[in-house]
């Protein structure tokens, strides 16, 4: 069982990265087009998924003090709301 564990972890990591890459919109991916990310993940099972998570996957909406959400955080951030006051 212990010899199978690294292979199983590698398989799960590759599948997760592959599904995540497929579901991510092309406009939100970083550094490479989607087709190249998919090839990288499939051809290099350990390096590809790690590279995807570090360099290709979009960051989360609340990270590092930036608001990447297309929606305002509250009514005081909405220009239309402020204009109508």
pLDDT of residue 36: 93
pLDDT of residue 9: 93
pLDDT of residue 73: 63
Which residue, 75, 29, 73, 83, is CA-closest to 51? Answer: 29
pLDDT of residue 8: 94
> Residue 32, Cα to own-chain centre: how many angstroms?
13
- SS3 per-residue string spanning 13-37: HHHHHHHHHHHCCHHHCCCCCHHHH
pLDDT of residue 25: 87
Under-50 pLDDT residues of the chain:
62-65, 67
pLDDT of residue 44: 93
């Amino acid at each position: 069982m212990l010899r199978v564990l690294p292979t199983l972890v590698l398989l799960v990591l590759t599948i997760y990265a592959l599904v995540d890459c497929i579901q991510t919109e092309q406009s939100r991916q970083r550094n490479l087009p989607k087709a190249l990310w998919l090839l990288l993940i499939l051809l290099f099972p350990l390096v590809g998924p790690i590279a995807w998570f570090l360099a290709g996957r979009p960051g989360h909406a609340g990270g590092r003090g930036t608001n990447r959400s297309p929606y305002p955080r509250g009514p005081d951030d909405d220009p239309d709301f402020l204009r109508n006051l």
